[in-house]
Each structure stands twice: as structure tokens, then as C-alpha cells.
Amino acid sequence: MKVVTPSFEVLDNLDTESLAVRIEFCGRICYKSEDKIDRESALPFVSKMAEHGHNSVLEMGVVTLEVDCINENQLTELFLTQPRYLQINRDRNRLLVTGSVRAFRELLMFHPDCAVVDAMCAHLNKRHPYFFSTILPKNGFSADGSIRVRKVQLDEVDQLPADKLLKHRHIAVKFIVNRAITHEIVRHRPCSFLQESQRYCRYSDDKFGSEVTFIKPMFFKEDSPEYEIWRKAMLDTEQMYLQLLETSTPQAARTVLPNSCKTELIVYANLAEWSHIFKLRSTKAAEPSMREVILPLQEDFSQRFPAVFS
């Protein structure tokens, strides 16, 4: 049995990586297979995710595009598709569009005849063909010269005014917390989530130290009678779980695991949604264990994005 304190990590180091590298890193959290990451592993991983339609993983890659249209009717056609999961700002015939790989894939799948959708996905396909190889239009992309698409670099996004920065700047945070806290976080919309899977992770394996890891509860002082009750309960649970694994699968054995189990959760959202999370989860009425990680995270964001969180 191992006991650790809750923590978080802002994954800003991924912001400068390619979409494939970013998606692989986040996706492997689910199976705790980060040891399989190398210089050649990202493209096969994301190609497999796209081929099998693992959309939650593909949400971990977000791109911002600038779209110029000569024909205003083409913009109307885009909005008639009711594009889901896109953040869009319009300035006359110019659009600023931010969306995940999943969002662009679904637009192409369901609205391949929309000229703006065609142009945006054609632009992305040139850079990242592995995301679209299984859903390409039968006759290919139209290459409409009246629509120009440009990728907006991250440093350009960071220079946007606060109202646009809120919508278009996405950032990922990895939490190491107990399962009770993740049950609350995943209620938020719109966010993207990937979580360590107890269904596939076998904690009796060597890479987990052949033990179950628990999050230290903030409610009980160490060495107090209450803490000793909690500690004994976790030891007993671990013993039952490991015993069940001798004859059962991880997805069966996990049914005895408690909320105190350590889990890793990646939350990916734009600054507007992070602001909403902070508003709800930092108040005195919020769950104390949630405030334990949210308050320092909120302070971190206020230093990174003072124009938004001042």
C-alpha cells in the first residue's frame, strides 16, 4: 500500500509539441503505458485512435485556424451546419476558428459538401493526413481558391484580446487526486477528459509496485484514531483487490476499490471553462479536497494569464 498527496501539473510543455505527440501523451495516461513512448510511437498511436474512432483521445489536440472567404454565403453555409465543439469569432468575412481534431473530423464526416468545412479539413489534412485517412471524401477535397485557411500559431493566440483569449486558448492540467474528486470534475462542460483506467490497469503488476496507491485524506490528522481507521480500511481493501486478481480480471477486481484510490485525470479546456471551474470549485462551499488542488491551480492560472484571471 502506498499513500501520496494530491497534486496537479499544468501541461504547458505539450503546447509546443505536435498534435500527434500531444494526443499520444494524454492518451497513454488511460492505460499508464507512458513507457511505450518514443520518437516513432506518436503517429502509429494516433492513427490507431482515428481508425477506431476513439474520439475522447482525439479531443486532446486543438488547433486554431484563420479562415478568409470571398463569398459571404459560404460562411452562412458553415453556420447552418451548427458546428459543435468549435469556438468561432467572426469579423466580416474572416473567421477565427478553434476546435479539436475530433470536431474537425466530425464536421467532415457529416458535412463534407460545406465549402468552409472542406477547406479547413483540406488544410489540416496536408499537415496531419493520419487524422483523416479513413474519412476522406470520395472525390477528394475541392481546393476552393476563394477560401484561404491559415494555422494560427500559439504565440499569436496568446496575444489575442482577453475576450478572444478566453474562447480560443486551451490548456491541459493533469490532476493526481482521489476518485471522489474526479467524479466532481468530470461533471463540467465543455471539457475534454482522459483518466487512468482501473478497468485495464492491473495494480499487481511490477510497474505499479504490486500495490494500490491511495490519496492521503485531508480530513484526518496523521496518527489520529480516524486516520488509523482509514489506513486499516485501505490495507484491507488492497488485500482483497490483490486476492481477486488471482482469479479475476482488473475490471472485476476493481469493484472493491474505494474513492480514496489515486487516479490521474487530464482536463483540457479553454480559459472560459477554467474560469467557470474556478468559480464553482474554489468557494468555501466546495468540497475541501477539491479546494486543496483548485486554489493553488487558480493562483497558477492568474500568473499565467493575468488579463483573464486578474
Of 6, 53, 3, the C-alpha closest to 289 is: 6
Q: Answer yes or no: CATH 2.40.128 is held by domain 18-168.
A: no
151 pairs with which residues across the strands? 65
Q: What is this structure's pTM? A: 0.94
* Domain ranges (residues) in the chain: 2-15+170-309, 18-168
What's the CATH fold of domain 2-15+170-309? Answer: Gyrase A; domain 2 (3.30.1360)
Average pLDDT of the chain to the nearest whole number: 96
The per-residue pLDDT for range 120-173, each reduced to its tens digit, is 999 999 999 999 999 999 889 987 889 999 999 999 999 999 999 999 999 999
Say yes or no to pLDDT of 108 above 90. yes
Of 107, 109, 153, 147, the C-alpha closest to 127 is: 153
pLDDT of residue 310: 75
Residue 42 sits at the vertex; the CA angle it makes with 39 and 45, to the nearest 5 degrees, is: 140
Pairing of strands 170-178, 94-100: unpaired
Give the orientation angle of helix 19-27 with respect to helix 42-51, to 10 degrees: 80
Percent of the chain past pLDDT 90, that is, above it, reads: 93
Report how far apart, in Å, the C-alpha atoms of 264 and of each of 181, 186, 293 are: 11, 12, 13
pLDDT of residue 144: 82
Q: What cell does 96 get?
A: 477565427
Residue 147 sits at the vertex; the CA angle it makes with 144 and 151, to the nearest 5 degrees, is: 115
pLDDT of residue 21: 96
Distance of alpha carbon 85 from the chain centroid:
13
Say yes or no to pLDDT of 66 above 90. yes
pLDDT of residue 195: 98
Mean pLDDT calculated for residue range 208-215 = 97
The catalytic residues are 281
